[in-house]
Structure 1
Amino acid sequence: MPEQPKFAQIKQHIIDQIRAGTWQEHQRVPSENELSDQFKVSRMTARRALSELTEDGVLTRSQGLGTFVASLKSQSSLLEIRNIADEVEERGGNYSCVVLSLESMSAIAPIAIALGVEIDSQVYRSVIVHHENEEPIQVEERFVNPALAPEYLQQNFTTLTPHEYLTHVAPLTEARHTVEAIMPNEEVCQWLNMFNEEPCLQMIRRTWSSQGIVSFARLISPGSKYRLGGHLTFKK
């Protein structure tokens, strides 16, 4: 197997340090000069590695200050992880979905970090639009670690949701997410049948089993059709 180009080796080194927790969010990473000395390469090669990771959102650069680990946008979950099909049925609605994509792909840097796998390794991706009474209420884009769900691409997700399947083959032990308001792009608007511009609720979620990170998902719902709630019980 041919050796990776030097810039790719530097990128992988940075990814490994972030994934291992050696370099934390917002921590300064080595400069171009420091990386060029460490890897015995030109500054241009080191700059390419830093620039590509910055474009991918893994790093962030501040003029005059240096390059830092970008925010991974994850936090401890305070909400119960629920199956959307169950939510719809509990409201008395009829659940259905449309599977737009079910494929294997090479993991770019942000996905590799999120799933704890190597850059350019194969991961699984699904894009599903969930419906309530034939109206689209959520787009789910999910990336899955093949090592923990090897038969993911063979599933019929019109009869069970990815959440149901993954909970069965890799029982969840932990979940982290962030929730934020976004303006959807044209593609998401088409999937959700949104003809008027309106904010959407986006949830970024990572899930773990006892064997490692199972999936990384982006869930987008129209603000006018979906809301998020939770119930907390505190010990006295």
Structure 2
Amino acid sequence: MSQAPLYLQIKQFIHQKILSGQWPVGQRISTELELTEQFNVSRMTVNKAIRDLVNEGHLQRRPRLGTFVCAPEEKVQSPLLDIRNIAEEVTQRGKQYSNSVIKQSSILADEHTATKLGVMINSTIFYSEIIHFEDKSPIQLEIRWVNASYVPDYLNQDFSTITPNLYLSQSCPLSAIEHTVEAVVADDKVRDALKLKANDPCLLLNRRTWSHDKLVSCALLYHPGNKYKLSSKLIMN
């Protein structure tokens, strides 16, 4: 056998069975005891391999019935080189959009936020936290800071009916965007908002937007990494 860790060898064995169709969707896989005996390893090692495949969406545990192959879950996709209204994205996929406004307030910019937003420390800025849902499943936690001087009516908006993205695009026409994407370890706040388990992947999009050379807002957009992906298309002349 290969020199990979034992749990990874077992994980690859199970995954190959799924990919080859030997274990089709709905098939109950070998029990942990059977795999323990087959590979001559501990139950903990087998459990680790199966747990990873469950977290990745390949397997599903059913209490008292066993572990079954499940259908691959199509990831939600958003354009990376553009800014789309998330409510519109969801409805265009034929899903139901909703959101939960967690916080909407006026705050004083600390050093870090002042630098990101291009304002003086202790300047009054606007802050909002919103969880966006697709068919009642959380797909994005939006944490946003807004330059109050450029968007004075931001706090007067009902973001349960209009998203910050849509309102800002109408109030301050977009002239430039800055994107940075990274995989992160979600903290408790993000995990709770997105209903993530401890080992679930999390995708973070850092975004800043300008209107007429004015830096209007900066946002942290967290997504469940096992349900979401970002894409881009570059056309070369």
TM-score w.r.t. length of structure 2? 0.65
Partners of 1:129 and 1:138 within 8 A in 2: yes
Q: Residue in 1 aligned with 2:229? A: 227
Tell me whether 1:197 sits opposite 2:199 in the alignment.
yes
Tell me whether 1:104 sits opposite 2:109 in the alignment.
no
Off by >6 Å, runs of 4+ in structure 1: none
CA deviations over 1:181-209 (Å, ceiling 9, x no partner)? 00100111111112342120000000000
Identify which range, 78-87 or 155-164, moves more after superposition.
78-87
Q: Residue in 2 aligned with 1:72? A: none
Q: Residue in 1 aligned with 2:209? A: 207
CA distance in 1, matches of 2:213, 2:232: 28
CA deviations over 1:138-189 (Å, ceiling 9, x no partner)? 1000000011110000100011110000001111100001000001001111
How far does residue 109 in structure 1 lie from its aligned partner after superposition? 1.1
Aligned residue pairs total: 159
Q: Which runs of 5+ in 1 are unaligned?
A: 1-76
CA deviations over 1:86-107 (Å, ceiling 9, x no partner)? 1111111111000000001110
Give the structure with higher Rg (CA).
Answer: 2
Structure 1 vs Structure 2: percent identity of aligned residues?
A: 44
Tell me whether 1:216 sits opposite 2:218 in the alignment.
yes
CA distance in 2, matches of 1:196, 1:183: 9
CA deviations over 1:112-142 (Å, ceiling 9, x no partner)? 1111110011110000000000110110000
CA deviations over 1:18-72 (Å, ceiling 9, x no partner)? xxxxxxxxxxxxxxxxxxxxxxxxxxxxxxxxxxxxxxxxxxxxxxxxxxxxxxx
* Aligned counterpart for 2:136 among listed residues 107, 127, 134: 134
RMSD: 1.4
Q: Residue in 2 aligned with 1:143? A: 145
Q: Residue in 2 aligned with 1:95? A: 97
Q: Residue in 1 aligned with 2:188? A: 186
Partner amino acid, structure 2, of 1:105 = I
Partners of 1:148 and 1:211 within 8 A in 2: no
Partner amino acid, structure 1, of 2:202 = C
TM-score w.r.t. length of structure 1? 0.65
Q: Residue in 1 aligned with 2:71? A: none
Partner amino acid, structure 2, of 1:183 = V
Partner amino acid, structure 2, of 1:205 = R
Q: Evaluate the alpha carbon distance shift between residue 150 and residue 211 of structure 1 in structure 2; reply closer, same or farther with a 3 A threshold.
A: farther
CA distance in 2, matches of 1:186, 1:100: 15
CA distance in 2, matches of 1:88, 1:198: 22
Partner amino acid, structure 2, of 1:141 = I
Q: Residue in 2 aligned with 1:115? A: 117
Partner amino acid, structure 1, of 2:164 = P
Partners of 2:103 and 2:130 within 8 A in 1: yes
